[in-house]
Structures are given as C-alpha cells and as structure tokens.
Structure 1
Amino acid sequence: MKLLLKLATRSAWNRRFTLGLMLLVIALSSTMLLGIERVRHELRAGFAQSVSGTDLVVGARTSPIQLMLYAIFRIGGATNNMGWDSARTLARNPAVAWTIPLSLGDSHRGFPVLATNGDYFRHFHYGDGHALRLAQGRVLADVFDTVLGADVAQRLHYRLGDHIVLSHGMAGLGAPRLAEHADKPFVVTGILAPTGTPVDRTVHIGLDAMQAIHLDWEGGAPLPGLHIAPGLVKKFDLTPTSITAVLVGLKSRAAVFRVQRDIADGAGFNEPLMAVLPGVALDQLWDIVGIGENALLLVSAMVVVVGLAGLVAAILASLGERRRELAVLRSVGARPRDIFILLCIEGLGVMLAGVLAGVLMLSGLLVVLGPTLAAHFGIVLQAAWPTPGELQLLAATVAAGLLASLLPGLRAYRMSLSDGLTPRI
C-alpha cells in the first residue's frame, strides 16, 4: 500500500495541471454545497428568530399563524383589533415584565407602518437576543417623528430630516394609489441598523401619531369640511382606543402556560383574546412556507452530482492517455487489483483535497463578503469550522467520490496488458 501511495503521488504530480483543474471543480462544488447548506440553515434560523425574548404574542382571536403573520411579519391583515384597556390590563399582570403594543394598518409606498411606543426599542429582540440598534439619529421623541427600517431607507433613499407622507391602508408597490395623510407629514429622525428581519421593511411611528393622523378621519376616509392642523393635534387626547397586538415578556418563563390559559379564559378582560407562543407558531408557519428549504436541498444535491460527474468524466478521459503507463506497471509485476486500488486512491485524494480547498475557499469568501451579505440581504454568515452536520455532509460527499472512482478503477482493472503495449495505428 505504501508503494501504491508513492506511485499515485508521483503520477499525480506528472499530471498536476489536469488534476489541478479537477481539484478546482471539486473545490467549487464543495464551496457551493457548503455555502447553500449554510444559507439554508441561516434562513431557517432567521425565520425562527424574527423575534426572540418574547414569551407571548397576544391579540384578538384568530388563527395563531395569521396573528404571527400580521404582528411579526406584517403580512396580511388583522380580522379584528384588541382594545387598549385590554392591553393595559395585560401590562398590570403580576407575571408580566414588559409589554410592547403594536398597531398596524397604514403604509408608506408599499412598506407597512407600525405604531408603537418606547418599549419597542427597549425590549424588542431578534436573532440570538440582539437588541435594535440605531445606525443614525434618535428614537421617537415628537408626535410626527418616524424611525425607518434599514431596507426602507435604502430602497427609498431617505436620510435624516426628510419628510414622508403615510397612506391609509396597506398596498404593495405598484398598487393603486391610496388615500394619503398629506396634511400631516412625518420627519425621519432615525434609521435602524440592518437586522435581517421584517423590522428592516417597517416604518415606525408612535401610537399617539397613529391617533393624530386619524383625528379628522372616519370610516377610512377624511371627514368633509374638517381639518385639524398638525400643530393642534396635541390639544386632543391621543390615547389609542384599540391596537393590533401586544408582545409580552414574562418575569419567569415557567408561567407562560398559566398566563396563556388565563388570557384564553378571559380572566380580567372584557373581550375574547388569544395568546400565541412565538416559537410554536413559527415552526407551524415554516412547515407551510418551508418549500424553499426543500428547493435548496435539491440544489445542493445537484451540485454534488455535477461535481462527481466531472470527477468521473475526467478520470475516464485520462485513462486513454494513461494506457501505456498502466501497461508498464502491469509489465513490471503490478496486478489488476493494484491498478484498481491506484485509481481509487487517486480519486479519493482528489476528493479530499477538493473538499478541504472548498472549505477554505468558503471561509475566505465569507470573510470578504460576509459584511456585505449581512448589510444588503440580512443573511449573517460567518467564517467558522464546519458544524457536525456539515462535516457529515462533506464526509458523505467524499464517500460518494470514492464510489464514483470505482468506475474508472474497474475500467482500468479490465484493461489487458497488450492493450497498452500494442501501438495503435
């Protein structure tokens, strides 16, 4: 075996250019495979961690998935709101540490508008417990202040001090023009750092601001002949009458099921409410929208198949050039079994070197491109040693490469001695 390893090394060095191209193909395939696997896991982790540290999401009774879609992902619409009195009753619960009221319904050029208060910027967390962070400016201080998510500011080219006008209701980009609150423009006072969550695509205003822009509206339309100037809104009671949902943080997570049951039973509330555990609802939601994960798995499999096909094709093509070399080895005493093992060693060596080069290549790319991916796409990928799951995947790839090497090895095994020594005309 030691002699075969030495022969394989010298033979590979004599064909270093050809084998170098093969190694590059395997390295690129491994890089794509490992990169797609990391993106797949990051997408799932990012989806599941769109909100963290929140023990319950409370809202009017509907389906848990619909409540999560609207309150966390700003998708769809609420079937009903919950009263402000219920939100205050919930905040006074001895088991509750903090609450974040959320009110949705308006938009700005296709982006949802979220009305909340200062607790949102203090207690909302995402990912592995990361707090919201301002890239520029300050949080809400006046009625008509607004804080923009990173994507909103980037796509619409907003800067601090710019004025924006909100629209009544929700509509996507390119949808028919909605009625606007043009008489009460907002000033951009802050821009949040990228989070890779729906926060990036949200325009944030205060709960009092949501009331202020609707003082002279009724039934989704401005009241004819009534106009309240922006400078006069503070003379009115801007306490909200209803909100969409409340994010709840408990003093002890052990109390989560008790508080959830109390809310479902209506203890202390004058309206039917429901409380959803974010982790459970997000897992259910991923089961519905996780078809993208299956698509990435399919792409990963195709990448491996293409890489292995290239390896087999390259080794088979090289056999025609190596007929005389293999025949000479046979003439000096090498058995067909030795030739078979030699070809297998060569294929395994190329696979191992290619996979290792792929891991190093991916690490280098992540060091260079990682900040760009996080800033523009919200995908946080860091250079790190492969996880146990990734190591199993790479080991399976190497094993598949070894199996693929058996075909050229069998072809060389069946070559006769005269096949390489007899000149062909």
Structure 2
Amino acid sequence: MGLREDLERYREVGERAREDLAAFVQYGDLRPSAEDAISVPVKLVDLPEFAYDERARGGVGRAEDGPPRPGQPVGEPEPAAGDGDGDGDEDGKGDEAGDGHAGHETYEMNPAEFAEALDDRLGLDLEPKGKAVRERTTGDYNDVARTGPKGTLDFERLFKQGLKRTLATDFDEAYVTEALRVADWDVDDVFRWARGQSIPVSRAWLERRASDLDEPDRWDTIDAMEAACEMESTATRVRRDGVEDVALRRDDERYRHPEIREEKRKSVVVVNIRDVSGSMREEKRDLVERTLAPLDWYLSGKYDEAVFCYVAHDAEAWEVERAEFFGLRSGGGTRISAGYEFAAELLEEYPWREWNRYVFAAGDGENSHNDSEERVVPLMAEIDANLHAYVEVQPGTARRSNHGAVVEDAFGGGDDVAVARVHDEGDVLDAIETILASETEADE
C-alpha cells in the first residue's frame, strides 16, 4: 500500500470519527462550541514516513589516522549531538517501532450539519412547522393589473388581444359584396344570410357598401352567387396581404407587477430554565450542559430563525447570558415555578400563532413544598409550546425525584411533555432521544 492509499485511509478514519457524535456529546468538551458553531474534536493519525538514524551519518566508522588499511579494526560510530545513550531521545527511552501518537484538532460543524448527523444517529426526522408569514419575496413580473405605471404596460399582451379581435371580426368583403348584388335582396336579407354563414359583418358596413354598389342585380338567386363565388378564409388573406390595422382598446391594457410570494418562515424560540441552587454541584451542572446544549444546536439547525433565552432560578428567577447559564451556582433555596413564571413573561414577545416554542427545564428535582403540584404543573399547562421537557440530573443514583414524578403523573406521558433522567454521561444521548422523539411523535 502506497502513501496515497494511506492518506485516503486515514482521511476516512477521521471522517468516521467526526460523524459519530455520540462520544463527543456524552464525554467531549462542549465549552469551545457556541450556538452557531459546534467544535467537534477530530482525531488525527500521524501518517507513516521514513526516519533516518542520526548514527548512520559519516559511514559505519572511521580510523583515527587517515583512511583505514585492509584488516585494520575501526572504532564505534560516534553518537549524534544531543543523544543520550545513543537512541536519539533526551530521556534515553527510545520509541518502539510504530509507537507514534495521534493528535486532535477540531472540525467546525454548523447547526444544520449537527441536526442532520443527530437525526441519522438517533433515527429521527423532526419537520419544523411554518407559522405566520414572516418573509415576503418578490419574484418575476408575472402578475398583471388594470392600472400601473406606463413603463410597466404589457404591450405584447395588448397587441395580441387587439390582433385576436381584429382577426375575429375579419371577413371576405368581396364575397359579401356579391350577396348585395342578388336580385330583390336588400341589406336586411344579406345581413340575415351573413349571420347564418357566421360571417361577422355589421349592418352599418352593409349599408355603406350598398349605397355605392354597381351591378345591383348581377345574380338571380343567392344559390347562383354561392355556386359562382368562393369565400376566401381569413388565414389565406393574412398570409397574402398581412394585417394593416390592429385595433387597440383601453380595456385590453394590462400592467405588469412583480409576483408576491408569501412564505411561512420557520421560527423558533427556546427557553432554557435551570436550577442554580446550592444543591446543583459541578457534576450536575455538567450533565445539564451535556443535555441542553445539543438540543439548542439541533433546533438551531432545523429552523430558519432561532432565538434562545436562558433563565436561572433558585427561589427567584432571572435571565442570564448563555455563557453564564451552565456554570452559574447560587446558595439559595429552590422554587421551580419561579423559572416558569419568568419564562411565561419572556414568551409574551413571541406569540404562539407566529412562533414555535420549546421550554426545557433542568435540575436535580428538588423543589419547595407543593410547588410542583400547585404552581409548576398549572404553568406548564398554560404556556403553549411544541414541547415541554424536564431534564432530571441525579448523578450516581437511580432514585427519582418527586418533581419529575409529579410532571409525569400530571401529563400522563402526553406528546408535548417529556421527562428525561440523566444519572451519568452514558444517559445523555438517551435523554436527548427521549425529548426529540416526543416532539417527532407530536408532529405525526
């Protein structure tokens, strides 16, 4: 296998490592990533190359006085500068064959790529909903109206309409004139006959032509005239003589306007609520970040417009920046309803009829007495959202909090409510799947 084949093989290895996000989401360092750029570590494998032993420089050996004579023993090669024990390492410990190392770099993945990769990994396919019209785009000048600036007059259409009308009223004047020369026929007789032949002649035209007619009694009967004369079609005359005049009417005028296409923009607002009370130690905070951050990336990649709000709470609630949200800790008590009360105020700026809305809360499940039943559950029911999710983090224990159980009992596993429990990093991907699968099922 040549170096080119090796290079392709190692590229494939790196690509496979990038595509499998499970290890990154569960165990990787999420801090370098932002809302719009996910920094995924990629393992880089050293490519094979030739290495030359420094001791080989200068030949196998040399004599002390000039060139060696046949049979003269030669000394050992001198160690290269910087060698310790002749192995080329400063610490005197040589590398075993093939004992290279792999470095790491990062691949910047945008949210759309992340969402696609996570869909593939979890077997999901969330189809975002379009809400109110939030974008208008002008297309080509395909629409027409009866009024408009003169510069937008559709003259081609006007001419075609006039031409069609001209051709529709055309007839063989010479042929009709012969009917006026039938003995004992007047204008009324010829007019009735012409209508019966579907000849679009007017009574006024007949009267004008009859007033200066020569040889008025050329034909004894109409049958004799029809037998002797042949009516020429409009198409034949137009091919021969063309069209001299085209009647243009104001009623046919149309003005071109740009086509207006209304699109339902797919917009989403995500409110992340996090317990920052004294019980939320570092390990719990890390599990919260590992679960909520990928959800933000995923939804940002799915929607045209994504807004993220971050609410921290202990017994009270306040809005924070994303950078503060995952590391913040306070020493207060816990009242989860404070987070939902603040979220409800924030969502007033994002009407449900126009925005998709997600509310994700996370904590260890500790809450003040009866707050879950009396305040949190009613607030969740009042706040319209595509999905409410509660992420319960309980490192190192399988016990379930009272708050998570209350939410499950109140909503009975409905499609728009999900409770996910995370005890260690290995549960993170399952928790994300639980949440996103609930939203996917709600769409069906």
- Identify, as 1 or 2, the structure richer in helix: 1
Q: Same fold (TM over 0.5)?
A: no
Structure 2 length as normaliser, TM-score?
0.16
Q: Which has the higher contact order (CA 8 A, sep 6+)?
A: 1
The structure whose Rg is larger is 2
